[in-house]
Structure 1
Amino acid sequence: MIYDFDAPFDRRGTHSYKWDHCDKIFGGKDLLPMWVADMDFPVAQEIQQAILERAAHPAFGYTAIPDTSYEAVSDWLSRRHSWTVSREWVLFCPGVVPSIALSINAFTLPGDKIIVQAPVYPPFFNVISDCGRQVVVNKLIYEDGRYRIDFDDLKNKIDRNTSMLLLCSPHNPVGRLWSSDELLELGRICIERNVIILSDEIHHDLAFPGLKHFPIASLSNALSENTVTLLAPSKTFNLAGLHTSITVISNELLRRRFYSVLNSLSLRSINIFGLAATETAYSSGDEWVDQMMNYVAGNFEFLNHYLSTKIPEVVAIRPESTYLVWLDCSGLSVDYSKIGEFMVKKARLALNDGASFGPGGENFQRMNIACPRVRLQEAFNRLEKAVSEIR
């Protein structure tokens, strides 16, 4: 089937957080929302049909997770990522961010230090602090338009109170697909120092065409036993509102500890429609994902050409994964603390301000490009006009 990602798609009037609450959150009017990391594409027709078929039966009571759902997950990970995952390693959960909190409470103690690699997904900071742990920043190195891990700093930041590293792989917002060598080195450092790796791999299916994501737990038995991996169909298939995620833990002791915390909060139940959507997505969603990422790659080439020819003050960091683009706005004649305000008031764009991603995010904005190209064209027309007025 050929999917049409150019088709007009209006989400207003659906209580969309991204669209219907945008003006209120940003304090502007007639803003173009390109912030929240969900897509402005309709879900695959196969997924919509699966939900409709489940909804046709008028009973929405407690539901057990069938073997077919576990098989769909393991088959997808094997087929797409060459990762063999046993059924008993898989736990269904209500979301990746809740699973981060569950993992922190299961595997660390109050007051422990947890390392993050900034600039990074803002909830990492909040969840760690809200769980009563300390955030330690291992800042990424930014050179020649590319980010890399500072391994020397990582080793220096780990002390006897450090119990976990919260890895973002692929990395949001900088778009890196960490290489197997980088992940093996990171894993070696953590294993030698008894630091558990909590790997948020929610963007794992969104590698750009021709590139490959490596699940860190798939690289060795030692890494598998020291890693808790968090996944979800939400970013891949635009299913965030169904609150369904997957946690993969091969280490039986860690799995029992995680399950104990999950059970203590009565979070074992699963969303009926999320379950139907997940099984269908992982069983028959390959072609939709491939076509969608080809389209997103085309969107990036469009915006990159637009910036280089018409708005050279803004530079896009070339992503290797995700549909999120990290924009270096340091060339604008605007103080870094005012860039977000400039985007809202002058360009009428709602983007994620880089400062919210922690150290290293200053001067940056994050843009979601999972949208029809005509909308991307409108966004950069607005930005070009705003920038021309301050040159």
Structure 2
Amino acid sequence: MKKNKNRSKAKKPRSFLSFIITSYVLIAIGFVALAFFVGYENSSKTVLSIDRNHNDFLKTNYSVDISVSKQWISEGMVGAQYDGVIYNYSGHDISDWTIELTTPYGSRLDSDWNGVYDMSGDGHTLIIEPLDYNNIVVPGGSQTFGMIMYTDTEFTPWKMTVSFSTAKTITEYVFFYVLIGLSVIAVIVTAAFVISNIRIAAYRKRQLQYKKIIDETLDAFANVIDAKDEYTNGHSARVAYYARELARRMGMSEQEQENIRIIALLHDIGKVGIPDAILNKPGVLSDEEREIIRTHTTVGNKILSNFTSVENIAEGSHYHHERIDGKGYPDGLSGEEIPLCARIICVADSYDAMSSSRCYRKMLSNEEIIEELRNCSGTQFDSSIVPYMISMIEDKTAPIVFEGDN
């Protein structure tokens, strides 16, 4: 279960990064869609029907006013000068404007200015379009036009239809500011994510540096321990390796495996309190000397009792010579009374002793070691751990030889 949690934690930064990238893509799509929408609106003409008999037309952003400035009678027809203005009260340009007037039948256009004028054959419809120079009406601006026209009766243009193209900018749409807001949020979140990851990377780097320092310090301690006993050079490192591999095969988590490795690395730290003459005695130890050797477990417990960074580290040193049948030392614990870390180290420690040469005997063969492990399973060794040690021998994971080992 712990491994799955670690994997889920590792996936979180990737998932968050995917979320940020997706957000940027969606925002970009939003801007593109808005640009297309604005382009579509600008390409289509706005059509307004203006009726000067009502005040509503004054409330719009666009207006057209055509008034009679002069009027006379000629040859039975009413002549008049019409002065027109198209107003733009909006915030964007308008262009390609067209004004369509319905005039009395038989109306005749005499002259015109500031535009292109087209009177229908029956004189009932007049269409006015701009020239190049007055095609665009800027925001808050206007364009003028005018004409002289003869009609059968007096005529004042009250009603007309106006069409034009708009040139709205993208900033005139509320959705633009929504996208800007989302972009700002995305940038802030991205910056926070980057800064957070930089800090995490720096923190992890410091952790690795600290771990390296700790590992090298522990290795130095182990070397000091092994240096006292000329017959067990590299013993602590090998036992640590075997213990970690046993923990792995037993299904322990990465952290538990690492803890077992550290505990095993310092399992013999109590030997610093044993005289060198006894540790390196080439002959058989006396009963008194053997008892002194055994005190390394209690000495190790005292040395590591205040070492709280690794759980059970003192117990590993204190109980690694206990036996499942209760005949071990120093406290004669049996079965599961013995901490699991100590039971693992007991197997790893005994294997390394059997697979290494001593002053009083040669190293045992793999077959002899396997036989000894099986014979002592359930008495000296935990029977649930022995099969894993045997599998390590059979698949040649053990023995391990480190550089500098004898």
**TM bucket by the smaller chain?**
under 0.3
Q: Rg larger in 1 or in 2?
A: 2
Q: TM-score, normalised by structure 1?
A: 0.19
- Which structure is richer in relative contact order (CA contacts within 8 A, separation 6 or more)? 1
> Greater helix share, 1 or 2?
2
